[in-house]
Amino acid sequence: MKAVYAGSFDPITLGHVSVIQRALRMFESIHIVVANNRSKKHLFNLEQRTKLVEKSISAEYLERIIIVPYEGVVADYINAHNIDVVIRGIRNATDLDYELQLEQYIRNTTIAETVYLSPYTQHIQTNSSLVRMFFQSNKYELAINYMVKEAYETAICYEVRGI
């Protein structure tokens, strides 16, 4: 079975990484689609977000993961690659409400089934919005608690040094 985990990952957090780790226990390989949601104002551009995802994946998992920057509609990617399962992360009831709406769209536009996974307990309150706020308010040192160290260091280079 082919699985996809799509998101803007702006930036990728330890919560995202824990969902990926849990998914790898169920699926042989996972396409991680770094989507460019045009309705969002991203802190990091698509290339930077893709690099942050690459930096967040442990080397032991890289052979089982395909990381793809993607500009189009994720449903089109799912159909083009004959993806069987869409992995979605949920942390709380608010996430679930949004994800159920998204599932309706996926169900009507693809043949994929949706599987919901929550992050490991220690990352249940982690979200990209919080990490973005740390970066935007120059509280970079607080973001390290929510990101893989290598991704954090790369994000600092992008944000502070303008790379």
Q: Give the rounded percent of residues in the chain with a pLDDT score beyond 90.
A: 74
Q: Shortest CA distance to 13 belongs to which of 123, 134, 96?
A: 123
Residues contributing to the annotated binding site for substrate: 8, 40, 74, 88
The string of pLDDT tens digits covering residues 54-106 is 999 999 889 999 999 999 999 999 999 999 999 999 988 887 888 888 899 99
**Residues of each annotated binding site:** 8-9, 16, 40, 74, 88-91, 99, 123-129
Domain spanning 2-160: CATH superfamily? HUPs (3.40.50.620)
| Residues in the annotated binding site for ATP | 8-9, 16, 89-91, 99, 123-129
